[in-house]
Structure 1
Amino acid sequence: MKLDYQQALNRVADAKGAWLVHGGEPLLEQNLLSAFRAHWQSQGIERQRFELQSVQDWKQIFSALNSLSLFSTQLAIEVHGNIKPDAPSLKLLKSYLQNPQDNFLLMVFPKQESQSLKSAFFQAVEANAAVVALSAYGAQQQQRILQIEAEKIGLQLTAQAWQWLIFHHENNLLSARNTLLGLADSFPEVAQIDIAELEQSVQDQSRFSTFDLGDACLKGDLAQAVKILNFLIESGEALPLIFWVLQKEMRLILQLFEQPQNALQLGIWKNKLSLYQSALRRFSPQQLLSWSNLLLRTDQAIKGLGDEHPHDLLLQLVCALSGQAIFTPSS
């Protein structure tokens, strides 16, 4: 079956078997993943995460689904990437979908072309589980999504302010949501936000964005990347959002290393292909192999697990993605 974003949010608690989520809207992906993780935690369901770096990873995923730990009766597995299973793994997927028991498989893919959605992989999931398209077309749908975000933080906007917000952010829902958060901090006493408050807030916050951070890292401009990272942290940007951008860029580079001929299928836009290819040339295979552990440690630190400081680990990610070490060998 096919679901849109709102339908998927409403069915998180009842989700069974497997869902395949795809789209190019970071805000919608973050919200849906947060809803799933909160549900799993409330139900005591063990969660594991896999990053697809080769087609062989699918075998590990199905092996994990068939082997619960001693302390778990249910398992939820998140799979992130853009590598479809080969024929043997597709057979394992179909077998799992016929009898998932109480386990759940959540596959998170980037935006897919229409031809890709016709593949045997997507068709198998759609026939036996759910395919969720994370997209928001048109100003009305985008405004409905953002109004829910505004209600969460007790914010109300005039009709003119909504039009201005949608137009200014040019369909970037994540950026628009960040503006709403800034408005809530800057104008806590204002009953209804109008264009004047929006213009002031955007002017105050327009210096850098998380996407500027990703671009600076891809260009190998460490000094600029560190400057942007410090600005984002000091301005109160949510650490999971900073981490999301860095890990997305790292994941794309890892996938490009494995599949250099499939850049467009991986979700890399044509106008940024040369940037990713240039970035990839800076890294040795040994450097790329070290990223998975660093990403895991950062994710755990942001969630309050372990003794490491998330700011320090984000800096290490920025340095790694920029292709430069934090310390010289002599230090």
Structure 2
Amino acid sequence: MKLDYLQALKRVDAARGAWIIHGQEPLLEQNLLDAFRKSWQTQEIERQRYDIGSVSDWKNVFNGLNSLSLFSQQLAIEVHGNIKPDASGIKQLKSYLQHNEHNLLLVVLPKQDASSLKSSFFQTVEANGVIAHLSAQYPQDRQRILAQEAEKIGIQLDQDAWTWLMQHHEHNLLAAKNSLMRVSDTFPEHQLIQIEQLYACLQDQSRYTTYDLSDAMLRGNLAQSVKIFQYLIGAGEPHSLILWTLSKEMRLLMQLFEQPQNALQLGIWKTKVSDYQQALRRLNPHHFLSWPTLLLRIDSAIKGMSDENPEHLILQALAELCGTSLFAQTS
């Protein structure tokens, strides 16, 4: 079964079996995971998390699905990564789906390309569970989602304000949500927000955006990238949004290296293709191997799951994308 974001939200409480959620909208992923975790807590469902760094890690996942603690009757296992199970893992997945009606395997992936969606892993889950694509392709979808976010914090926007907000943030839902929170805090006496309040609140935040950060990194300008990063942090931009930007650019560069003729199919704007091609000529593809691990370290640091400083790790990733290193390379 395939669901979109809003459909998936309505089915959270009854979710069992296997779900895959994938996309490149961090706000939608964050909201859906928050809904799952709240539901599990309410229903007293035991939760475990696994981060997949290699195919062999899937053994731990399937072993975990069969290791319910003495104090729980149901189990939810949350899996993060971008490595799919091999043939042996698919066999274990099919066995789990056939014999377990009460637990939930929730797999969280970045946006998948067409070939991945045709893989045995996706086909097995789609036939027996749920595939939720976290996207908001059309303006009316984005406005509907952001209207829910506005309602959560007790504000409404008139139509001119909506138009301005959507244009200001283009397709970035997480940044738009943060702007809604900022304008609510700045004008607590206003329940109906008009364009004047948005403009007054956000105009001083428009000097740099994450799009400027992407441009600087693709040009290999480390000094400018660090300057924009420091500005964004000072302006209150969340680490998770900056991580999303880093992850998107690293993923596109790695995919373009493997598929140099498919830039447009990968989602790279026509006007930006030459920037990505020049970046690839500057970068050492051997370094791509360390990027997924670095992104996982940043994610763990942001979530407080490690003692590492997320800003230090983000600076390391900025340097990698600019084609340099903050640390000496050892042979």
Structure-2 residue corresponding to 1:239: 239
Structure-2 residue corresponding to 1:67: 63
Structure 1 residue 318, shift from structure 2 partner? 1.4
* One-letter code aligned to 2:227: K
* One-letter code aligned to 2:150: A
Structure-1 residue corresponding to 2:47: 45
Hey, what's the Cα distance between the residues in 2 that align with 1:170 and 1:284?
A: 32
Contact 1:146–1:177 at 8 Å: present in 2 too?
Answer: yes
Structure-2 residue corresponding to 1:54: none
Cα 1:294–1:95 change in 2 (3 A) is same
Structure 1 residue 204, shift from structure 2 partner? 1.8
Structure 1 residue 237, shift from structure 2 partner? 0.8
Structure-2 residue corresponding to 1:267: 266
Hey, what's the Cα distance between the residues in 1 that align with 2:283 and 2:140?
A: 43
Cα 1:46–1:89 change in 2 (3 A) is closer
* One-letter code aligned to 2:200: Q
Hey, what's the Cα distance between the residues in 2 that align with 1:38 and 1:251?
A: 30
Structure 1 residue 92, shift from structure 2 partner? 4.9
* One-letter code aligned to 2:206: S
Structure 1 residue 198, shift from structure 2 partner? 1.9
Structure 1 residue 188, shift from structure 2 partner? 2.7
Structure 1 residue 264, shift from structure 2 partner? 5.1
Cα 1:215–1:61 change in 2 (3 A) is farther
Q: What is the alpha-carbon root mean square deviation over aligned residues?
A: 3.5
Structure-2 residue corresponding to 1:156: 156
Hey, what's the Cα distance between the residues in 2 that align with 1:141 and 1:6?
A: 10
Structure-1 residue corresponding to 2:130: 130
Hey, what's the Cα distance between the residues in 2 that align with 1:33 and 1:265?
A: 31
* One-letter code aligned to 1:289: L
Cα 1:306–1:118 change in 2 (3 A) is closer
**SS of residue matched to 1:184:** helix
Structure 1 residue 138, shift from structure 2 partner? 4.4
Range 300-309 or range 238-247, more displaced: 300-309
Structure-1 residue corresponding to 2:319: 319
Cα 1:234–1:171 change in 2 (3 A) is closer
Quote the sequence identity (%).
48
* One-letter code aligned to 1:209: T
Q: TM-score, normalised by structure 2?
A: 0.79
Cα 1:262–1:89 change in 2 (3 A) is farther
Q: Note the residue ranges of structure 2 that are not aligned, 5 or more in a row.
A: 70-74
**SS of residue matched to 1:308:** coil
Contact 2:15–2:104 at 8 Å: present in 1 too?
Answer: no
Structure-2 residue corresponding to 1:2: 2
* One-letter code aligned to 1:246: L
Hey, what's the Cα distance between the residues in 1 that align with 2:120 and 2:176?
A: 36
* One-letter code aligned to 1:232: L
Structure 1 residue 170, shift from structure 2 partner? 4.1
Q: TM-score, normalised by structure 1?
A: 0.79
Aligned residues: 320
**SS of residue matched to 2:77:** strand
1:104 equivalenced with 2:105 (yes/no): yes
**SS of residue matched to 1:67:** helix
Cα 1:14–1:292 change in 2 (3 A) is same
* One-letter code aligned to 2:49: R
Contact 1:20–1:109 at 8 Å: present in 2 too?
Answer: no
Contact 1:117–1:123 at 8 Å: present in 2 too?
Answer: yes
* One-letter code aligned to 2:314: L
Hey, what's the Cα distance between the residues in 1 that align with 2:246 and 2:267?
A: 15
Structure 1 residue 277, shift from structure 2 partner? 3.9
Over residues 108-156 of structure 1, what are the superposed CA-to-partner deviations in whole Å (9 max), with x where a residue is unaligned?
A: 241655x875665544322211121323354443322111111233323
Cα 1:158–1:285 change in 2 (3 A) is closer
**Pairing of 1:153-192 with structure 2 (within 5 A):** 153-192=153-192
Hey, what's the Cα distance between the residues in 1 that align with 2:213 and 2:77?
A: 31
Contact 1:112–1:265 at 8 Å: present in 2 too?
Answer: no
* One-letter code aligned to 2:316: Q
Structure-2 residue corresponding to 1:201: 201
Over residues 4-34 of structure 1, what are the superposed CA-to-partner deviations in whole Å (9 max), with x where a residue is unaligned?
A: 2112123223322222234453432332234
Contact 2:174–2:241 at 8 Å: present in 1 too?
Answer: no
Hey, what's the Cα distance between the residues in 1 that align with 2:264 and 2:139?
A: 28
Over residues 169-200 of structure 1, what are the superposed CA-to-partner deviations in whole Å (9 max), with x where a residue is unaligned?
A: 44443342232133123323333211111222
Over residues 246-287 of structure 1, what are the superposed CA-to-partner deviations in whole Å (9 max), with x where a residue is unaligned?
A: 133234444555x33585598342524443343344444553
**SS of residue matched to 1:304:** coil
Contact 2:221–2:322 at 8 Å: present in 1 too?
Answer: yes
Hey, what's the Cα distance between the residues in 1 that align with 2:45 and 2:64?
A: 16
Range 227-236 or range 63-72, more displaced: 63-72
Structure-1 residue corresponding to 2:72: none
Over residues 72-105 of structure 1, what are the superposed CA-to-partner deviations in whole Å (9 max), with x where a residue is unaligned?
A: 6446243444x77676665554444334563514
Over residues 57-78 of structure 1, what are the superposed CA-to-partner deviations in whole Å (9 max), with x where a residue is unaligned?
A: 4x42532222239986446243
Contact 2:59–2:89 at 8 Å: present in 1 too?
Answer: no
